[in-house]
Amino acid sequence: MEDARADIERLAGLIAESRRAVVFTGAGISTESGIPDFRSPTGIWSQTTPIYYEEFLASEEARIESWRRKFLVDRDIVEASPNRGHRAVAKLVRQGKVTSVITQNIDNLHQESGVPAERVIELHGNGSFAKCVSCETRYELAPIREAFEKDGAAPVCGACGAPVKTATISFGQAMPDREMKRARRETLACDLFLAIGSSLVVYPAAGFPVLAKDSGATLVILNREATDLDGIADFVINREIGPTLGEAANVN
Ligand code: NAD
């Protein structure tokens, strides 16, 4: 526990010294809320393989499977509420320490923990609604779910007939331009970049910690296991997120 105290104090010190910090989060910050991550031994990819965007567009079968998985995962997400790690991040934003939260998560928990929506940059979209893949008409999930449970067919757009997909970014799908540009600007402007709960293997998202480091920011990685970018970080903390960040930010 001695070592944990030293890590927390060092982290708190770096946060205190920073004039402009950015928090970058992955699925790991939400596991303490009961949402499984992707790459832990019990994570989603240990049990299923991803459906690529091309496949989703090309095959009705893939679309049905994708919606089936979505409603399965939603059970965890709908019941989840922000945990100590989310609350610590929200406090740092409130204090003006952290200007932006760049997240790979689609679970809306940063917003629910009190981070203003305009301070959250969602690189992989948001899973709480759906969109037509062609004309981008927005659809709410409840009616889609009701129809899907009744007839088992994948939803199509009422306006143009194209497939409807959750408003998340699938493997093989283009990244959202506006969010990528904002994340880049924020990363270039920060002096401290906190990468929290990400295996840092999904690009281009994992390019942001690299960019931060290259542009002179201090790079801290907080993750319970090793990540691909530990070698370039100034400080790697292999601990649980909630207790570590909670102590460092003095949040319960
Ligand atoms: P990942 O699963 O690849 O990595 C998560 C990392 O967090 C792992 O290295 C794991 O060891 C660590 N971790 C898990 N719980 C932790 C804890 N309590 N304390 C410390 N470390 C912990 O996730 P990723 O890097 O975000 O990338 C995968 C993709 O997963 C992203 O694109 C994201 O969109 C998607 N995803 C999102 C959610 C969500 O919205 N909550 C859930 C699953 C996957």
What are the tens digits of pLDDT across the range 192-238?
999 999 999 989 999 999 999 999 999 999 999 999 999 999 999 99
Evaluate whether the domain defined by 37-79+125-168 bears CATH number 3.30.1600.10.
Answer: yes
**Phi/psi of residue 121, each to 5°?**
-105, 110
Strands 21-25 and 192-196: parallel
Residue ID of nearest Cα to ligand 1 atom 2: 38
Region 26-51 average pLDDT: 80
- In the chain, CATH 3.40.50.1220 sits at 1-35+82-124+175-252
* Domain range 1-35+82-124+175-252, its CATH number among 1.10.760.10, 3.40.50.170, 3.30.300.10, 3.40.50.1220: 3.40.50.1220
Secondary structure class of 237 (helix, strand, coil): strand
At 40 the pLDDT is: 63
Digit-coded pLDDT (tens) for 42-101: 555 556 788 999 999 999 999 999 999 999 888 878 889 999 999 999 999 999 999 999
**Phi/psi of residue 94, each to 5°?**
-60, -40
Region 103-115 average pLDDT: 96
**Phi/psi of residue 99, each to 5°?**
-85, -30
Identity (one letter) of the amino acid at 111?
A: Q
Spatial strand order in the sheet of 21-25? 120-122, 98-103, 21-25, 192-196, 218-222, 235-237
What separation in Å is there between the alpha carbon of 56 and the centre of ligand 1?
Answer: 23
Structural contact between residues 82 and 88, judged by C-beta atoms closer than 8 angstroms: no
44 or 176: which carries more pLDDT confidence? 176
Any ligand 1 atom below 6 A from CB of 43:
yes
Digit-coded pLDDT (tens) for 234-247: 999 999 999 999 99
Calculated CA dihedral for residues 129, 110, 54, 166, nearest 10 degrees: -10
At 46 the pLDDT is: 53
What separation in Å is there between the alpha carbon of 162 and the centre of ligand 1?
Answer: 31
At 47 the pLDDT is: 60
Asked if residue 173 has pLDDT above 90, the reply is yes
- In the chain, CATH 3.30.1600.10 sits at 37-79+125-168
Q: Using CA atoms, how far apart are residues 235 and 228, in angstroms rounded to an integer?
A: 14
Pocket test for ligand 1, best of 25, 30, 37 (most atoms within 8 A of CB): 37
Degrees, nearest 5: CA angle 8-9-14? 100
Secondary structure class of 3 (helix, strand, coil): helix
- The yes-or-no answer on residue 124 being catalytic is yes
What separation in Å is there between the alpha carbon of 40 and the centre of ligand 1?
Answer: 8
What separation in Å is there between the alpha carbon of 22 and the centre of ligand 1?
Answer: 18
Residue ID of nearest Cα to ligand 1 atom 8: 199
Which of 87, 124, 131, 239 is catalytic? The answer is 124
Structural contact between residues 223 and 104, judged by C-beta atoms closer than 8 angstroms: no
Across-strand partners of 98?
Answer: 21
Pocket test for ligand 1, best of 7, 31, 32, 38 (most atoms within 8 A of CB): 38
Region 129-145 average pLDDT: 96
- Reading the block at residue 208, the tokens are 């942001």
Secondary structure class of 229 (helix, strand, coil): coil
Any ligand 1 atom below 6 A from CB of 199:
yes
Digit-coded pLDDT (tens) for 146-171: 999 999 999 999 999 999 999 999 99
